[in-house]
Structure 1
Amino acid sequence: MTYFDTALLALLLLTLLGLGAALWPGRRAAPRPDPRARAALRQKAETLALRGRILAITPETSLPDLTLTPLGEVWLSRPKGVSAEGALAVKAAARFPLARALTGLRQRPKGGRVEWSATACAASPRHGTEQPRTPRPQATVLVDGSNVVMWEKNSGLTDKAQLATLQSVIDLLLAEGRAVKVIFDANIAYTLFGRGMSVEELTRRIARPAADIEMTAKGQIADAWLIDSAFTTGATIVSNDLYRDHPRARFLSMRRGFSHGGVAELLPPR
């Protein structure tokens, strides 16, 4: 075969491949994994998980509904005018695995910067305060569906919600042998598909028959429903929401995660 014949054959193969892609647009190769991008997203999820463990940051030395046990001091410096509360919380949670609160928060000018410091404390509900049920390994995992489908958009990877992220999360949990219940806000179909639909149609779209799919009634807040269910059953919630507006969520078992190209990864529960 001459060089000309080889080149002509290669051109013919490329043309056929292009024609195949045009005729079957749904048959696309899976995106190549990007280890560096996934590592960066994993680090962000781990930072969020640490930040979520700190329930309160206050200049006070006590909190009315929590019993506190001091663990040690944490400090860092920041330029003037730059808040350090979030970074201080992450540092405290990483240094003291039992830390749940920062008390005695204070700032001290030091040169052109500000030194922030606080006392990391373990925390538990005071006697008589309603407490969530102890997390149970066999309990159904509750998935905050409206939050999970936004993981890639919130990371700046896409411009819209991704159903594939939720499907990947369900697959991961089922592979662990867990029962899965997904709870959505009532407007989720508009978020995903631009129109309303019944929970039955949504379930068919998700195409994971082993998972229980629920959607709140219009006007009902999915977060509250999700948290109340976890509070009474001891279930773990999969979500990147910190639920700061829901005091009952403070001692629940949470599981954070991320997604890249529709392939999710879950961190261990905290």
Structure 2
Amino acid sequence: MLASLILLVRARSSRRRVSGRQQTVLLDGSNVMHWKDGVPQLETVRKVLSCLQRNGYSPGVIFDANAGYLISGSYMHDGHLAKALGLPRDRVMVVPKGTPADPAILMAARDLGARIVSNDRYRDWEVDHPEISQPGYLIRGAFRGGQVSLDL
């Protein structure tokens, strides 16, 4: 899958220090951008990315195709969102229109051995991705008192 390939190339060069490597995490960007006040904001994603990076993680982000419309009223491609987030282009993916991001996120995470940052429980995908039921596989989060709180 394209998401796996894009993120895999980048992940090979940067992983969280666990046995000498940084751990890659994938953000469900379309989920995370709603965490603060239920309003889609890129600033919310930036703050979560910053928190993960401060904790030694190497994050990538995958968005649904409509993310740009929700944020700015127009389509935003991978490069546009990467620039807005301050990430390299190969760490951000927008799935094609009409394609749900969930399977791309789940397959990329499986291929990379990565955990997922999202409050989505991916119940519709549990049969094909039983790993989502493993404790700690899904990193839940929220904004509390204006600060990011992640279940790392």
> Contact 2:27–2:60 (CA<8 Å) still a contact in 1?
yes
TM-fit CA distance, 1:209: 4.3
Aligned residue among 215, 219, 222 for 2:98: 219
TM-fit CA distance, 1:234: 2.0
| 1:101-140 equivalent positions in 2, closer than 5 A | 137=18, 138-140=22-24
> Contact 2:62–2:95 (CA<8 Å) still a contact in 1?
yes
Partner of 2:112: 233
Aligned residue among 14, 19, 26 for 1:142: 26
Partner of 1:16: none
- Asked if 1:201 corresponds to 2:80, the answer is yes
TM-fit CA distance, 1:261: 6.8
Partner of 2:12: none
SS at match of 2:51: helix
Find the aligned partners of 1:217 and 1:232 in 2 and give their Cα distance. 20
TM-fit CA distance, 1:163: 1.4
| 1:50-199 equivalent positions in 2, closer than 5 A | 137=18, 138-154=22-38, 160-199=39-78
RMSD over aligned Cα atoms: 2.3
Find the aligned partners of 2:42 and 2:36 in 1 and give their Cα distance. 10
Find the aligned partners of 1:163 and 1:264 in 2 and give their Cα distance. 14
SS at match of 2:70: helix
Residues 220-256 of structure 1 show CA distances to partners (whole Å, capped at 9, x for unaligned) of 2111111112223321100001111111133371111
Higher strand fraction: Structure 1 or Structure 2? 1
Find the aligned partners of 2:40 and 2:92 in 1 and give their Cα distance. 17
SS at match of 1:153: coil
> Contact 2:78–2:89 (CA<8 Å) still a contact in 1?
no
SS at match of 1:152: coil
| 1:1-12 equivalent positions in 2, closer than 5 A | none
TM-fit CA distance, 1:180: 0.9
Question: Per the alignment, do residues 187 and 262 of structure 1 end up closer, same or farther by CA in structure 2, a change over 3 Å counting?
Answer: farther
Structure 2 residue ranges without an equivalent (≥5): 1-16
Partner of 2:141: 257
Identity among equivalent positions (%) equals: 38
TM-fit CA distance, 1:207: 2.5
Question: Per the alignment, do residues 190 and 171 of structure 1 end up closer, same or farther by CA in structure 2, a change over 3 Å counting?
Answer: same
| Structure with larger RCO (C-alpha < 8 A, sep 6+) | 2
Partner of 1:86: none
- Asked if 1:266 corresponds to 2:150, the answer is yes
Amino acid at match of 2:124: D
TM-score normalized with structure 1 length? 0.43
Find the aligned partners of 1:168 and 1:228 in 2 and give their Cα distance. 25
> Contact 1:182–1:211 (CA<8 Å) still a contact in 2?
no
Larger Rg: 1
Structure 1 residue ranges without an equivalent (≥5): 1-135, 155-159
Find the aligned partners of 1:225 and 1:241 in 2 and give their Cα distance. 14
